[in-house]
Amino acid sequence: MKILIVDDDRSSGAAVAEFIEEQLGHEISLCHTGEDAYALIQEMDFRMVISDMRMPGMSGIDLLKKIKNMPNGVSIEVVIMTGFGDMETSIEALRNGAYDYLLKPVNIEELALLVERVAENIRLKEENRDLKENFNREISSVKKEEAERINYYETTIREITSVGKIGVFSDAMRGVVRMAEQFHEDRSVPVLIEGETGTGKEVMARLVHFGKEAEVLQPFISINCSAISHTLFESELFGYEEGAFTGAKKEGKPGKLELAQGGSLFLDEIGEMPLDMQPKLLRVLQQREMYRVGGSKPIELDVRIICATNRNLKEMVGEKSFRSDLYYRLNTGRLYIPSLRERKEAILSFSQIFLDQYAKKRGRKFKFISKEAKRLLQNYDWPGNIRELKNTIERATLLFNDLELQVDHIRFLQSDEEDINTGDQPLTPGRIVLPDNELHIEQLELEIVRKALKKFDNNKSKTAEYLGITRSALRSRMNKL
């Protein structure tokens, strides 16, 4: 990925550029004024720009606005760096299309995670674009009976800088989409989205926020509750004032609630929120105000709260592991996304679309699905839902190249245990046998991570130690999973 660093502080800019280039492996260009940066962006195809906020001449905000007004500006992710902890300018940057912001001096771990998120976001946008183009072009060549099966209902969701799609192939999901569009109209109603892992809860959350017409420009801020340490949860959500605790930044820091002002805060895996934090979230919902950690002045909020969970919150209330008052408040606007096995009529439609998508991406010949393969796809339970189905088709197109998807291409679904190596032998350096076709190293890496997590019952510390990586690096890979 081509990244442009813009910083009038030459030593700071050089340090950031060197880290991203040498440690993260991206192609870097560096300049020191907004004017030089804008000229360079017009000449080169950058996918990401990391710019200082305050510079002589053109500021970071001015550069951001110019980029977003360019014909290809929507495809360039912009991150703003500020050394002043200025919440107003940070929010202004987000509202003008910035992907995120970083406080200076830049924390290397935060920088690395942010660059990885941007790279993944760009990959997903390209996949979505390819999906639509491929569907429109290839559907005419699909067997007639398949074409008749596919009732393609598309809703466009516009993020601040990216576009996603929803494919709806069942009456149950059409009802969910219609209800999400109704919730979009009333920002005062909190929304709780329930469903198994891989069913598309975040996609539905974005539909609630952006609506069908995708004209919303207010921020959509997300937090994964299971990925935040309990000790850091309050400061992450509410922010903190100067000197609130040992190690706090001198100028304080706004929390995710403040950054979501005028827009929506998405709390994924809400069932993992610490019990002592739940009354504070309830107060936000009821009083529409909050206090920063260490703060004495209330901050009025205009934020829509959207939550998602793959756990049964009602059972958790009975077990007293989730507060009943918060549950009933969140349950005002409830969306339940059925699992893929509950809407089997959608399996073949999704399978055909994913097959078209990955066949094009990898230059494969795949166009059809054999009757036997269809039977296997429909009879499989799909515990990982749409995400697992997508990964299954991707794996088949990675390892094989045929006109028709056959049972042999997806026979691993019939086994309870998938082996990433040939046979049952462990993956051992010096004994690895590579496939004849191309090898997708990132997918192999993620499958290793999945196996290691299962080996240690999802204990992140033991898994990270086993793999020889940090917990933050493991979290990054788990997000991709």
- Mean pLDDT split into 10-residue runs, the chain, 481 residues: 92 91 90 94 93 91 92 89 71 83 84 87 75 58 43 30 51 85 89 91 90 78 87 88 67 86 93 92 92 88 94 92 93 91 88 90 90 92 90 92 91 61 51 64 80 81 86 79 64
Q: What would the two tokens of residue 152 be?
A: 């393609």
Radius of gyration of the chain (CA): 23
Structural element, H or E, at residue 62: helix 60-68
Gap between the Cα atoms of 46 and 4, Å rounded: 7
Q: Is 19 exposed, middle or buried (0-12, 13-18, 19+ CB in 10 A)?
A: middle
- The pLDDT assigned to 125 comes to 74
Q: What would the two tokens of residue 340 be?
A: 């893929």
DSSP secondary structure string for all residues of 441-464 = HHHHHHHHHHHHHHHTTT-HHHHH
- The pLDDT assigned to 383 comes to 87
* Under 8 Å between Cβ of 460 and 474: yes
Domains 2-125 and 150-338 equal at CATH topology level: yes
Name residue, tokens 């190690």.
247
Q: Domain map of the chain by residue range?
A: 2-125, 150-338, 347-414, 418-481
* Under 8 Å between Cβ of 443 and 398: yes
- The architecture of the domain spanning 418-481 is Orthogonal Bundle (1.10)
Structural element, H or E, at residue 134: helix 108-138
- The pLDDT assigned to 459 comes to 82
In eight-state DSSP terms, residue 107 is P
Q: Is 191 exposed, middle or buried (0-12, 13-18, 19+ CB in 10 A)?
A: buried
* Under 8 Å between Cβ of 8 and 56: yes
- The pLDDT assigned to 145 comes to 42
HSE value, Cβ hemisphere, 13 Å, CA-based, for 467? 26
Name residue, tokens 């909050």.
290
- The pLDDT assigned to 160 comes to 26
25 CA to centre of own chain: 21
In eight-state DSSP terms, residue 70 is S
Q: Is 365 exposed, middle or buried (0-12, 13-18, 19+ CB in 10 A)?
A: exposed
Find all residues with CB under 8 Å of 408, minimum gap 6, and list them.
none
CATH no. of 150-338: 3.40.50.300
Q: Report the DSSP pairing between strands 191-194 and 304-309.
A: parallel
- The architecture of the domain spanning 2-125 is 3-Layer(aba) Sandwich (3.40)
* Under 8 Å between Cβ of 48 and 118: yes
Tell me the CATH number of domain 347-414, given options 1.10.8.60, 3.40.190.10, 3.50.30.30, 1.10.10.10.
1.10.8.60
* Under 8 Å between Cβ of 111 and 19: yes
